[in-house]
C-alpha cells in the first residue's frame, strides 16, 4: 500500500468505519477498537467500567493484567494469526484479529473483555479485596460484561474484518484512479512548460553556437549555397588577416588565398562541383591539406574540414574549418632532423642499444649491439628472438623485466648471453618503455640499453671468492673456538668451498704418522667409491695430483685427467665418477713440513687462472690452521683432563676469577665441602654472595693494592696470599687462606686471577684460643689488663682526634676476701663471674669492662662527655653489686664496691695518669667508708667548674670578618649563660632558653663557616664539617638528658662551654691550615 492507512481511512471516511464498529458493539455488546500498526487507535466504540473506573486507575492491575494482555495479542498479530484470544486468569477473555488489504497487514480489530461462561462472583469478590477495590463496585462492573461464546465472537469479528478490508480496498481503488488523473494533468502541464522552454533553448543554443564559433581559436568560415561567405570568426581574421570586406564570397577567397593559377583553378572547380553535394549530405569531405596565402604574404599549411549547419539565420550553410598545421610541419621537420642525428649517435654509441617488441623480437639494434650478439646484420637475428641468446638461468628474469616494461615501468637486469659464436658476455640492461609512432598508443615496446660488464663480472667473481675466503676464515676460527672435532670443521669447510665454486669437489688428505701415505681427512661431496679409492694413497712422484704434490711439496695442476700420465693408475675410476681435472696444493706447517694436501676436482677439463691458484694456496693455509689447531686442542684437552682430575680431587678449592667483572669462570667441585654450594651455583653467584661485607671490603682493598703495584711495574704483585672469610650456604662465615696468581694479557693488564682457597677454621680456632688467653681473663672472659691498656690508648687517640671527652671507672670489691676465706676459692670464682655479668648488664656495647686484678675492675666510658654521665653509670654499678648474690646451694653472699672516677682530659691526658688517678679516687672511696663513689679531684686540672666568663682576645681573630663577628657574638652569649647557670636554682627556665638560643647561634655559625671555607677551597673542610656535626649532636643529646633530669643544667653548660665553644676554637687552633686562609695571625691561648 503506497499510502498510509490513516490516509486511506480519511479518504474512505472514518465515520463509515465508526458505523461498522458501532454495529459490532450493538451486535454482541463487546467494546472494540480499530488499531493501526503503530498502535494508534483509529476508531473505538463501547465502554467498560471495569477498565475505565478500576483497572486503568491501578498501577498494579494495569501493568500486570492490561499491558500483559496487550503484549500477548500484539505478538500473536505479528505471526499473522487470523484470530487471537487471550484468557485472563480470572476468567475474562480479550480477542484481536488482523485486517489485511491486498495481502498487507494494515491494522487490527481489538475487543474489550468479556466472558465465555457465567463468572464466579465469589472469586471476583475475593479478587476485589486483594486488589484494593470496592467489592460492590467491582462486582457491578463484572456483571455488566457480556457473556459470548468464542465461536460467535470469532465469526462476528471475522465478518467485520472482511467488511473493513472490502471498504478500504474500494477506497484504495478510487484513490488510485483519482491519483492517476492528477498525475496525467501534472504531466500535461510539464510537457507544455517543456515545449516553451525548448523554444527558448533553441534561441539560446543558436546564440551560444555563435559565441562558441567566435571564441574558437581555429579559423572558421560559413558559406551558403550561393557561395557567399556569411560569417568569418575572429580567429580567421587573426590567422589569415582577411576580413569579411576582403572576401565577401568564395571567388574572392580563392583569388586571395591561392597564388598559383593552376592550383587556384583546381580548388575553384572542386568547390563549385561539391558545394551543393556537401550542403545536402550527398557527399562528405575527407580532410584536405592546403597551403594558404595570408594577407601579409605569409604562407600557412592547413587541414580543411567542414560541417553542415542546418539553421543559420534561416538558411543551411557549410562551416569550413581551417586547422593550422604550419607549426606541426615545422616540428616534424625538426624531429626528422633530430632522428637522423640520433641515428648517427646510436651508430657511434659503444653500448648495445635495442628496441624489442612484445614477442621479444628485435625491431632495431645499433652496431655495438650487433657486435655483442656476434652478427653483422639485424636480419640474421630479427626472427630468432632475444631469449634464444640469453642463458637459461636468466630467461625467466628477462621475461619478468619485459612484462614490467610493457606495462609502462622501467627496470634494470644483469644477465649473460651466448653470442652466435658461443662467446659468453655479461650485460647490464637498463630497460625503458617507449611508444613507437606506428604503434597503438597504449602499447609499449622496450628500449634496452645494455652495457658489456663481462670484465667487471670476472672481477666481482674473484672478489666474491676472496670475500668467501675471508668469511670462511672467520667461520673456521669460530668452529675452532668451539673446540669441534677436526673432521667436522674440515667437512664444513669443504662444503662451503663447493657452494662457492659450483661444479667442483673439495678434499683434504692427511699424511700418516709414518709419512708414507695420504689418508682420508675430509671429502663430504666426492663419490663414496672415489673416497674409498684414495683413502690410502702412497706419497711419491707421479702418483696422482695429491701423491705427487705431497712428495714434491709444491702444487700439482692436472687440467685433463684423461690424458695426464700422473693419473694412469687412477684414470678409469676417476672418469667413471665424473672427475675430469684435479688441482692439488700441499698443506705445510710453519717449518715447511707437509701435513697433507688440499685438492679441487672439476667435472670438466679446466686450467686455473692466477686468481684460482692463489685461492688454492689460501684454502690450503686455512686447512693447515684447522689441522694444527685441532691437534693442539686435542693435546690441550688431554692436559686439561689431567688438571681437572687434580682439581676435582683436591681438598682445596681451586677457582678462576675474571677481571674486571669479578665473576667466577671456574670453581672446583670441592667448594661443595667448603661452602655447601655446588660449583655451578657459585659461578652463577655474584662475588657479593661469597664474602661477608667486611671481608669483601678487605678483598677489594687488597686487590686494589696489588693492581697499583702492577701498574707501578712491580711484577711480583701478580702473586700473593690473603686470609678472608667466605660465606657458607647456611649463612655462617668460614675462614680461608687464599693463594692467588694474576694472569696478564699482552699489554700487561690483569684479566684473570687463578687461586686456591683452604679452610683454616681449625687453625683460626686454635689462634683464637691463644689470643683469648693473652687478652681475656680466663675466669670472667672479660678483657684483661693488656687489652684494657690497648683499648684505653685507642680511646685517648680518638678523643684527641675528635676533641671529645671520656671517663674511666676504677672498681674494687668490698668484703671479697672474707668470701674466699669462708666459702673457698670456688665460691670466689663464681662471685667474680656474677659481678662481671651484672656490670655488663648496665653498660652499653661501646663501653669496656676489664678485670685488672683479683677483685679489681676498670670500666671505660667513651660516651661520658661530662662527669655526671660517669657518676650515673657508676651509681648503677654500685647498686647492682650491693644486691645479694645467691648461690645454687642457697648460700647468700653480700659484697659492695668502691668506685673511683677519672675524666679525660680534665684529670689526665695519658693512660698512665688515668689509671693512677682512678686508683687514687677508688682509694678515697674505700677510705671514706666503702660502697661509695669518688670523683677524682685535681685542682691543677679543674678548669670548667671555675669558669666565670669567656674573654675575647685579638689573637682569636682569623681575618675573616663574618667568622670573627660570629665568634665574638657566641663568646658574649656563652658568658651570659655562665652567669645564668650559676643561679640555676632561681633562673632554671631562663637558663634553658638561653642555652637553646646559644645552640641555634652555634649551628647557624657552623653552617655559615662551612660555606665560607668552601669558597676558599679549604682542604680540611670535610673534617671540619664532621667535627661540627659531632659537637652539635652531643650537645643535643645532653640537652635531652638534662630535660629528663638525667644530668644537671650545670653539667650540660659545662659541656657546651668546654667542648662546643672552647673545643671549636681548639680545633681551629690545632689546624695549621685554617688561619693562613685569611691572615698570618695564629691562635695561641684561650683565656677563661
Q: Calculate the alpha carbon distances from 982 to 549, 946, 948, 1051, 1063 in Å.
A: 115, 11, 9, 11, 21
Q: What is the CATH number of the domain that holds 494?
A: 3.30.450.40
- Residue 1082: predicted pLDDT: 39
Give the mean model confidence (pLDDT) for residues 404-427: 89
Q: Among 760, 733, 753, which Cα is nearest to 676's?
A: 733
- Residue 827 pLDDT > 90: yes
- Residue 939 pLDDT > 70: no
Q: Which of 730, 765, 800 is the endpoint of a domain? A: 765
Contact 218, 262 (CB under 8 A): no
- The set of cell numbers assigned to 838 is 651484672
**Higher confidence at residue 595 or residue 748?**
595
- Residue 1083: predicted pLDDT: 38
345 inside domain: no
Q: Within this chain, do residues 523 and 630 fall inside the same structural domain, yes or no? A: yes
Q: Within this chain, do residues 578 and 674 fall inside the same structural domain, yes or no? A: no
Least confident among 763-777, 780-794, 818-832:
763-777
Give the mean model confidence (pLDDT) for residues 620-641: 81
Domain membership of residue 689 as a residue range = 654-765
- Residue 378 pLDDT > 70: yes
**Higher confidence at residue 500 or residue 959?**
500
- Residue 942: predicted pLDDT: 42
- Residue 441 pLDDT > 60: no
Confidence of residue 948 (pLDDT cuts 50, 70, 90): low
- The DSSP code sequence of 690-740 is TB-HHHHHHHHHHHHHHHHHHHTT-GGGGEEEEEEEEE-TTS-EEEEEEEE
Q: What is the CATH number of the domain that holds 448?
A: 3.30.450.20
CA–CA gap between residue 302 and residue 884 (Å, rounded): 147
67 inside domain: yes
Confidence of residue 222 (pLDDT cuts 50, 70, 90): very high
Report for 263-267, 443-447, 484-488: range of highest mean pLDDT: 484-488
Tally of structural domains, the chain: 7
Q: Within this chain, do residues 847 and 748 fall inside the same structural domain, yes or no? A: no
656-690 tens-digit pLDDT = 988 888 888 888 888 888 888 888 888 888 887 88
Give me the long-range contacts of 1-4 (CB less than 8 A, separation at least 24): 1/101, 1/102, 1/104, 1/106, 1/172, 3/172, 3/175
Confidence of residue 823 (pLDDT cuts 50, 70, 90): very high
Q: Radius of gyration (Cα) for the chain, nearest Å?
A: 63
Confidence of residue 1048 (pLDDT cuts 50, 70, 90): low
Q: What is the CATH number of the domain that holds 114?
A: 3.30.450.30
471 inside domain: yes
CA–CA gap between residue 683 and residue 762 (Å, rounded): 27
- Residue 847: predicted pLDDT: 94
- The set of cell numbers assigned to 127 is 479478587
Question: pTM for the whole thing?
Answer: 0.33
- Residue 830: predicted pLDDT: 96
Give the mean model confidence (pLDDT) for residues 317-343: 80
451-485 tens-digit pLDDT = 888 888 888 777 777 788 888 888 888 888 788 88
Q: Within this chain, do residues 816 and 913 fall inside the same structural domain, yes or no? A: yes
Angle between helices 785-802 and 911-927 (to 10 degrees): 110
pLDDT over 90 percentage in the chain: 25
- Residue 597 pLDDT > 70: yes
- Residue 940: predicted pLDDT: 42
475 inside domain: yes
CA–CA gap between residue 724 and residue 745 (Å, rounded): 27
Confidence of residue 842 (pLDDT cuts 50, 70, 90): very high
Q: Within this chain, do residues 398 and 467 fall inside the same structural domain, yes or no? A: no
Q: Within this chain, do residues 167 and 39 fall inside the same structural domain, yes or no? A: yes
Confidence of residue 586 (pLDDT cuts 50, 70, 90): very high
Q: Within this chain, do residues 573 and 631 fall inside the same structural domain, yes or no? A: yes
695-740 tens-digit pLDDT = 888 888 888 888 888 888 888 888 888 888 888 888 888 898 888 8
Q: Within this chain, do residues 854 and 910 fall inside the same structural domain, yes or no? A: yes
- Residue 64: predicted pLDDT: 55
820 inside domain: yes
Q: Within this chain, do residues 877 and 967 fall inside the same structural domain, yes or no? A: no
Confidence of residue 650 (pLDDT cuts 50, 70, 90): low
Least confident among 425-434, 545-554, 648-657, 976-985:
976-985
Contact 434, 355 (CB under 8 A): yes
Confidence of residue 769 (pLDDT cuts 50, 70, 90): confident
Q: Within this chain, do residues 230 and 304 fall inside the same structural domain, yes or no? A: yes
Least confident among 174-178, 234-238, 453-457, 916-920:
174-178
- Residue 234: predicted pLDDT: 92
- The DSSP code sequence of 19-82 is HHHHHHHHHH---EEEEETTS-EEEEE---HIIIIIGGG-HHHIIIIIHHHHHHHHHHHTTT-S
**Higher confidence at residue 874 or residue 1003?**
874
Least confident among 118-122, 791-795, 931-935, 951-955:
951-955
Q: Which of 916, 935, 954 is the endpoint of a domain? A: 935
Give the mean model confidence (pLDDT) for residues 352-367: 88
Confidence of residue 337 (pLDDT cuts 50, 70, 90): confident
Contact 37, 22 (CB under 8 A): no
Strands 856-861 vs 885-886: parallel, antiparallel or unpaired = unpaired
- Mapping DSSP onto H, E and C, the string for 138-204 reads HHHHHHHCCECCHHHHHHHHHHHHHHHHHHHHHHHHHHHHHHHHHHHHHHHHHHHHHHHHHHHHHHH
Q: Within this chain, do residues 590 and 717 fall inside the same structural domain, yes or no? A: no
Contact 574, 561 (CB under 8 A): yes
- Residue 1084: predicted pLDDT: 38
Q: Which of 713, 743, 765 is the endpoint of a domain? A: 765
CA–CA gap between residue 1001 and residue 973 (Å, rounded): 9
- Residue 440: predicted pLDDT: 55
733 inside domain: yes
Q: Is 490 exposed, middle or buried (0-12, 13-18, 19+ CB in 10 A)?
A: buried
Confidence of residue 264 (pLDDT cuts 50, 70, 90): confident
Q: Which residues contact 1078 (CB under 8 A, 6 or more apart)?
A: 958, 959, 960, 963
Q: What is the CATH number of the domain that holds 876?
A: 3.30.70.270
- Residue 803 pLDDT > 90: no
Q: Among 567, 572, 492, which Cα is nearest to 529's?
A: 572
Confidence of residue 943 (pLDDT cuts 50, 70, 90): very low
Block residue for cell numbers 686435542? 634
- Residue 31: predicted pLDDT: 87
Confidence of residue 877 (pLDDT cuts 50, 70, 90): very high
Q: What is the CATH number of the domain that holds 1013?
A: 1.20.120.50
CA–CA gap between residue 498 and residue 524 (Å, rounded): 10
195 inside domain: no
Q: Within this chain, do residues 255 and 124 fall inside the same structural domain, yes or no? A: no
Least confident among 174-178, 197-201, 518-522, 943-947:
943-947
1023 inside domain: yes
Strand order from edge to edge, sheet including 411-418: 362-365, 352-356, 445-452, 424-434, 411-418
pLDDT, mean over the chain = 83
Amino acid at each position: 500500500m503506497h499510502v498510509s492507512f490513516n490516509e486511506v481511512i480519511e479518504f474512505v471516511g472514518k465515520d463509515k468505519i465508526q458505523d461498522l464498529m458501532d454495529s459490532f458493539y450493538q451486535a454482541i455488546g463487546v467494546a472494540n477498537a480499530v488499531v493501526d500498526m503503530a498502535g494508534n487507535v483509529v476508531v473505538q466504540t463501547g465502554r467498560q467500567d471495569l477498565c475505565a473506573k478500576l483497572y486503568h486507575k491501578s498501577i498494579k492491575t494495569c501493568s500486570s493484567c492490561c499491558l500483559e494482555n496487550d503484549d500477548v495479542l500484539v505478538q500473536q498479530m505479528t505471526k499473522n494469526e487470523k484470530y487471537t484470544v487471550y484468557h485472563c486468569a480470572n476468567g475474562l477473555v480479550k480477542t484481536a484479529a488482523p485486517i489485511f488489504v491486498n495481502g498487507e497487514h494494515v491494522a487490527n480489530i481489538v475487543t474489550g473483555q468479556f466472558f465465555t461462561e457465567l463468572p464466579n462472583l465469589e472469586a471476583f469478590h475475593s479478587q476485589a479485596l486483594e486488589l484494593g477495590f470496592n467489592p460492590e463496585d467491582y462486582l457491578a462492573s463484572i456483571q455488566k460484561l457480556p457473556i459470548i461464546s468464542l465461536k460467535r465472537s470469532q465469526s462476528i469479528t471475522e465478518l467485520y474484518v472482511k467488511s473493513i478490508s472490502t471498504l478500504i480496498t474500494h477506497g484504495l481503488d478510487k484513490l488510485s484512479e483519482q491519483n492517476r488523473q492528477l498525475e496525467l494533468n501534472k504531466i500535461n502541464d510539464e510537457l507544455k512548460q517543456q515545449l516553451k522552454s525548448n523554444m527558448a533553448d533553441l534561441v539560446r543554443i543558436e546564440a551560444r553556437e555563435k559565441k562558441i564559433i567566435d571564441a574558437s581559436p581555429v579559423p572558421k568560415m560559413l558559406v551558403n549555397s550561393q557561395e557567399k561567405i556569411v560569417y568569418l570568426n575572429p580567429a580567421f581574421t587573426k590567422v589569415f588577416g582577411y576580413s569579411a570586406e576582403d572576401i565577401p564570397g568564395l571567388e574572392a577567397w580563392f583569388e586571395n588565398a591561392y597564388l598559383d593559377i593552376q592550383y587556384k583553378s583546381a580548388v575553384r572547380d572542386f568547390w563549385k562541383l561539391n558545394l551543393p553535394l556537401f550542403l545536402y549530405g550527398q557527399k562528405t569531405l575527407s580532410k584536405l591539406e592546403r597551403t594558404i596565402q595570408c594577407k601579409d604574404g605569409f604562407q600557412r599549411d592547413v587541414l580543411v574540414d567542414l560541417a553542415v549547419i542546418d539553421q543559420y539565420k534561416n538558411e543551411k550553410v557549410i562551416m569550413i574549418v581551417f586547422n593550422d598545421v604550419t607549426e606541426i610541419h615545422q616540428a616534424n621537420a625538426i624531429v626528422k632532423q633530430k632522428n637522423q642525428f640520433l641515428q648517427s649517435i646510436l651508430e657511434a654509441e659503444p653500448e648495445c642499444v635495442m628496441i624489442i617488441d612484445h614477442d621479444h623480437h628485435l625491431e632495431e639494434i645499433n652496431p655495438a649491439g650487433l657486435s655483442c650478439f656476434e652478427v653483422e646484420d639485424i636480419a640474421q637475428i630479427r626472427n630468432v628472438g632475444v631469449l634464444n641468446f640469453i642463458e637459461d638461468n636468466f630467461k625467466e628474469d628477462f621475461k619478468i623485466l619485459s612484462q614490467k616494461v610493457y606495462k609502462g615501468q622501467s627496470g634494470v637486469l644483469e644477465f649473460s648471453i651466448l653470442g652466435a659464436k658461443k662467446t659468453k658476455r655479461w650485460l647490464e640492461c637498463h630497460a625503458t618503455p617507449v611508444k613507437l609512432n606506428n604503434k597503438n598508443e597504449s602499447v609499449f615496446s622496450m628500449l634496452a640499453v645494455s652495457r658489456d660488464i663481462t670484465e667487471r663480472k670476472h672481477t666481482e667473481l674473484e672478489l666474491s671468492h676472496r670475500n668467501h675466503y675471508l668469511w670462511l676464515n672467520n667461520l673456521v676460527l669460530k668452529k675452532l673456538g668451539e673446540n669441534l672435532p677436526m673432521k667436522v670443521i674440515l667437512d664444513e669447510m669443504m662444503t662451503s668451498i663447493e657452494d662457492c665454486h659450483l661444479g667442483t669437489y673439495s678434499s683434504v688428505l692427511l699424511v700418516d704418522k709414518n709419512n708414507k701415505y695420504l689418508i682420508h681427512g675430509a671429502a663430504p661431496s666426492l663419490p663414496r667409491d672415489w673416497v674409498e679409492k684414495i683413502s690410502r694413497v702412497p706419497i711419491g712422484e707421479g702418483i696422482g695430483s695429491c701423491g705427487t704434490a705431497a712428495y714434491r711439496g709444491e702444487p700439482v695442476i692436472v687440467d685433463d685427467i684423461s690424458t695426464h700420465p700422473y693419473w694412469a693408475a687412477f684414470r678409469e675410476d676417476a672418469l667413471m665418477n665424473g672427475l675430469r681435472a684435479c688441482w692439488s696444493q700441499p698443506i705445510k706447517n710453519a717449518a715447511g713440513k707437509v701435513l697433507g694436501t688440499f685438492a679441487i676436482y672439476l667435472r670438466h677439463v679446466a686450467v686455473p687462472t692466477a686468481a684460482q691458484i692463489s685461492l688454492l694456496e689460501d684454502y690450503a693455509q686455512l686447512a693447515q690452521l684447522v689441522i694444527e689447531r685441532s691437534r693442539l686442542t686435542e693435546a690441550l684437552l688431554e692436559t686439561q683432563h689431567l688438571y681437572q682430575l687434580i682439581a676435582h680431587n683436591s681438598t682445596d678449592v681451586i677457582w678462576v676469577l675474571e677481571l674486571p667483572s669479578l665473576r667466577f669462570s671456574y670453581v672446583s667441585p670441592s667448594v661443595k665441602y667448603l661452602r655447601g654450594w655446588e660449583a655451578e651455583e657459585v659461578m652463577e653467584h655474584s662475588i657479593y654472595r661469597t664474602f661477608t661485607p667486611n671481608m669483601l671490603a678487605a678483598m677489594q682493598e687488597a686487590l686494589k693494592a696489588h693492581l697499583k703495584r702492577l701498574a707501578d711495574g712491580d711484577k711480583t704483585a701478580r702473586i700473593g696470599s690473603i686470609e678472608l672469610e667466605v660465606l657458607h650456604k647456611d649463612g655462617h662465615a668460614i675462614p680461608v687462606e687464599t693463594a692467588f696468581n694474576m694472569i696478564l694479557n699482552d699489554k700487561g693488564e690483569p684479566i684473570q686471577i687463578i687461586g686456591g682457597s683452604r679452610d683454616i677454621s681449625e687453625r683460626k680456632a686454635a689462634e683464637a684460643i691463644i689470643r683469648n688467653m693473652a687478652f681475656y681473663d680466663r675466669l670472667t672472659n672479660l678483657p684483661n689488663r693488656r687489652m684494657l691498656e690497648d683499648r684505653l690508648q685507642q680511646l685517648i687517640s680518638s678523643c684527641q682526634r675528635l676533641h671529645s671527652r671520656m671517663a674511666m671507672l676504677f672498681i674494687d670489691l668490698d668484703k671479697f676476701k672474707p668470701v674466699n676465706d669462708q666459702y673457698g676459692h670456688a665460691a670466689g670464682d663464681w662471685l667474680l663471674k656474677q659481678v662481671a655479668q651484672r656490670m655488663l648488664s648496665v653498660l652499653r656495647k661501646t663501653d669496656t669492662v676489664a678485670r685488672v686484678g683479683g677483685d679489681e675492675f676498670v670500666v671505660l666510658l667513651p660516651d661520658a662527655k661530662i662527669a655526671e654521665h660517669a657518676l650515673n653509670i657508676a651509681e648503677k654499678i654500685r647498686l647492682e653489686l650491693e644486691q645479694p648474690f645467691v648461690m645454687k646451694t642457697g648460700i647468700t653472699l653480700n659484697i659492695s664496691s668502691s668506685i673511683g672516677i677519672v675524666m679525660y682530659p680534665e684529670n689526665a691526658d695519658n693512660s698512665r695518669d688515668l689509671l693512677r688517678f682512678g686508683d687514687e679516687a677508688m682509694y678515697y672511696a674505700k677510705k671514706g667508708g666503702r660502697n661509695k663513689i669518688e670523683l677524682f679531684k685535681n685542682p691543677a686540672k679543674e678548669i670548667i667548674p671555675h669558669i666565670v666568663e669567656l674573654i675575647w682576645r685579638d689573637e682569636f681573630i682569623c681575618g675573616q670578618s663574618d667568622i670573627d663577628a660570629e665568634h665574638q657574638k657566641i663568646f658574649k652569649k656563652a658568658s651570659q649563660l655562665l652567669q645564668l647557670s650559676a643561679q640555676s636554682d632561681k633562673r632554671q627556665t631562663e637558663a634553658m632558653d638561653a642555652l637553646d638560643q646559644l645552640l641555634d647561634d652555634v649551628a647557624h655559625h657552623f653552617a655559615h663557616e662551612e660555606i665560607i671555607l668552601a669558597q676558599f677551597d679549604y682542604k680540611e673542610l670535610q673534617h671540619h664539617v664532621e667535627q661540627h656535626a659531632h659537637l652539635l649532636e652531643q650537645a643535643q643529646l645532653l640537652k635531652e638528658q638534662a630535660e629528663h633530669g638525667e644530668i644537671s643544667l650545670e653539667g650540660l653548660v659545662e659541656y657546651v662551654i668546654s667542648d662546643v665553644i672552647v673545643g671549636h676554637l681548639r680545633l681551629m687552633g690545632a689546624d695549621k691550615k685554617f688561619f693562613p686562609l685569611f691572615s698570618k695571625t695564629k691562635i695561641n691561648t684561650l683565656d677563661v
